[in-house]
């Protein structure tokens, strides 16, 4: 199979979803700006996202999908039917326990993750109210992820990838049309999350019914295969929990900064997520199954080729993205967010954060890519050790850099931690002969750097020729930024070709099973 076709297919759907997410963020920025109400919403919205990242993304991707694939490939429908039914039954019980406990303790949880809100009781009370509205979304998102996993195994990847579109649409519609129906407009945004989640779930249930996998839950704790699955689940939960602790601590730090700090971090992070998310999501979807198959078959030659292919793509796409984001940080932020309630100070702070996060983009993507190789080898114990080392180092750096750089310090420590994680992952794989570069890395990177320098020169020159961005409409801003991006891409790939980099060999990479 030609991997680039599969990569482009997944990337296109992910791109559409991300663009709609940006439209959502632009809409929220225009209506709410950057203020304490949006900070409260972002903290409240962080809770269900935290549980999603701990329980759904890792577990269902790393544990449930491989297990379900084995059942499906065995061809025994009743085994597959019972497996899905008992897992969904277990999910319901776990969720009821989690929801009941969490909603009761939400005030204390908010104080733990955002202690800076204690100094303003109104912000604290608003965050608690918003959390109680939004938190039941965790029930919906876990079952959405659960049904997505089933659809992926049955070849309906596009359906699961397009599901997030409905949440974005719901949030946009509520922000524009229904926020005046509530005592505070921000409550409309909170309810839009729940409505969007319900639509997402029903959308997927339609396709589950189509493939005859709309299976009612069953409750049977004597089901032996359930306990073997839970062993793997517990390991993944530990890894994901360790990774999310760092995010929680960052929120704790940010809650002490001036009003708007959480919003600045959110908006800058959303911009960087576009190139990072596109490549990470696409490579995660594609590489994990094929690397797993190669490792199981002990075909290390294919395994190394596939992992090297992923790293080559990372270098080719992420290095120019990093430099372009830094050069275009001002026009990008002003195009996306500088409207109505957005101040010049907000613009400057997000631009600074965006530049810092962009520097860490290469480390972030490489760390995620190398982590995939550990999961494909089922080597999760090492990931736990490395995750613990990273979280300890990150918090030490947080204390140091917050003292030096104030609210920018969290971003600085994050990007350094990405590169430390890459170094630890790489040297472990190298030591255990699970990875080595099968090409001249220095020559490969030299050609990319030359191409990036040419692209940078052209972009800087074009920016200097363009008039002020402040006094033009969003339409002309979008035309300008689109023109700059298109020219940058064309110049970069044209220069790559001139340098002699054989893109055809990379893009036309096949794998066989």
What is the pLDDT, as a whole number, of residue 270? 79
Distance of CA 68 to CAs 14, 64, 101, 243, Å?
Answer: 24, 6, 30, 26
Q: Is 13 exposed, middle or buried (0-12, 13-18, 19+ CB in 10 A)?
A: buried
Q: Confirm if 271 and 356 have CB atoms less than 8 A apart.
A: no
Task: Say whether 421 sits in a helix, a strand or coil.
Answer: helix
Closest CA to 264 of 13, 417, 36: 36
89: Cβ contacts below 8 Å, ≥ 6 apart: 217, 218, 219, 220
Angle between helices 137-153 and 77-113 (to 10 degrees): 150
Give domain limits for the chain.
Answer: 1-35+260-513, 36-239
- The span from the CA of 68 to the CA of 149, in Å, is 9
- Phi and psi based region of residue 46 (left: phi greater than 0; alpha: psi -120 to 50; beta: remaining): alpha
pLDDT for residue 490: 94
| Full-model pTM | 0.74
pLDDT score at 378: 67
- Average pLDDT of each block of 10 consecutive residues along the chain (513 residues)? 63 78 81 77 80 62 67 73 80 76 79 77 86 85 81 76 86 86 86 92 90 81 64 65 67 69 78 79 72 75 83 89 92 78 78 89 88 76 83 85 79 88 89 78 91 95 85 82 92 92 64 48
At what angle are helices 3-32 and 329-337 packed, to 10 degrees? 60
By CB atoms closer than 10 A (0-12, 13-18, 19+), residue 358 is: buried
DSSP E strands in 30-88: the ranges are: none
């Amino acid at each position: 199979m030609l991997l680039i076709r599969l990569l482009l297919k997944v990337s296109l759907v992910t791109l559409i979803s991300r663009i709609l997410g940006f439209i959502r963020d632009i809409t929220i920025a225009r209506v709410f700006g950057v203020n304490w109400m949006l900070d409260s919403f972002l903290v409240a919205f962080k809770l269900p996202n935290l549980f999603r990242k701990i329980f759904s993304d890792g577990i269902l991707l790393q544990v449930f999908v491989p297990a379900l694939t084995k059942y499906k490939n065995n061809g025994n429908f009743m085994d597959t039917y019972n497996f899905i039914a008992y897992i969904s039954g277990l999910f319901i019980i776990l969720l009821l326990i989690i929801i009941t406990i969490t909603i009761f303790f939400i005030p204390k949880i908010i104080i733990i993750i955002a202690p800076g809100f204690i100094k303003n009781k109104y912000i604290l009370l608003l965050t608690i109210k918003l959390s109680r509205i939004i938190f039941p979304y965790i029930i919906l998102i876990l079952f959405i992820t659960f049904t997505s996993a089933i659809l992926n195994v049955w070849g309906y990847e596009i359906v699961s990838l397009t599901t997030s579109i409905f949440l974005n649409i719901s949030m946009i519609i509520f922000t524009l049309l229904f926020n005046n129906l509530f005592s505070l407009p921000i409550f409309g945004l909170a309810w839009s999350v729940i409505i969007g989640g319900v639509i997402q779930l029903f959308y997927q249930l339609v396709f589950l019914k189509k493939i005859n996998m709309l299976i009612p839950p069953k409750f049977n704790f004597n089901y032996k295969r359930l306990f073997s699955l839970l062993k793997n689940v517990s390991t993944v939960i530990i890894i994901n929990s360790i990774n999310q602790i760092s995010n929680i601590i960052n929120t704790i730090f940010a809650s002490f900064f001036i009003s708007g700090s959480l919003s600045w971090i959110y908006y800058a992070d959303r911009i960087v997520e576009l190139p990072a998310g596109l490549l990470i999501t696409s490579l995660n979807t594609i590489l994990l199954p094929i690397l797993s198959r190669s490792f199981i078959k002990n075909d290390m030659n294919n395994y190394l080729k596939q992992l090297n292919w992923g790293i080559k793509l990372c270098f080719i796409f992420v290095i120019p993205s990093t430099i372009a984001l830094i050069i275009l940080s001002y026009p990008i932020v002003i195009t996306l967010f500088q409207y109505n309630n957005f101040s010049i100070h907000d613009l400057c702070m997000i631009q600074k954060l965006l530049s810092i996060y962009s520097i860490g983009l290469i480390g972030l993507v490489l760390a995620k890519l190398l982590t995939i190789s550990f999961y494909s080898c089922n080597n999760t114990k090492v990931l736990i050790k490395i995750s613990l080392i990273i979280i300890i180092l990150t918090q030490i750096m947080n204390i140091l850099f917050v003292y030096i750089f104030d609210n920018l310090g969290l971003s600085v420590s994050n990007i350094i931690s990405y590169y430390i994680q890459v170094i630890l992952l790489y040297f472990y794989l190298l030591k255990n002969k699970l990875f080595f570069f099968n090409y001249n890395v220095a020559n490969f990177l030299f050609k990319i750097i030359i191409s990036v320098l040419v692209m940078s020169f052209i972009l800087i020159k074009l920016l200097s020729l363009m008039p002020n961005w402040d006094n033009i409409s969003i339409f002309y801003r979008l035309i300008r930024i689109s023109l700059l991006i298109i020219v940058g891409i064309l110049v970069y790939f044209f220069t790559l070709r001139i340098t002699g980099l054989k893109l055809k060999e990379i893009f036309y990479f096949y794998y066989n099973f």
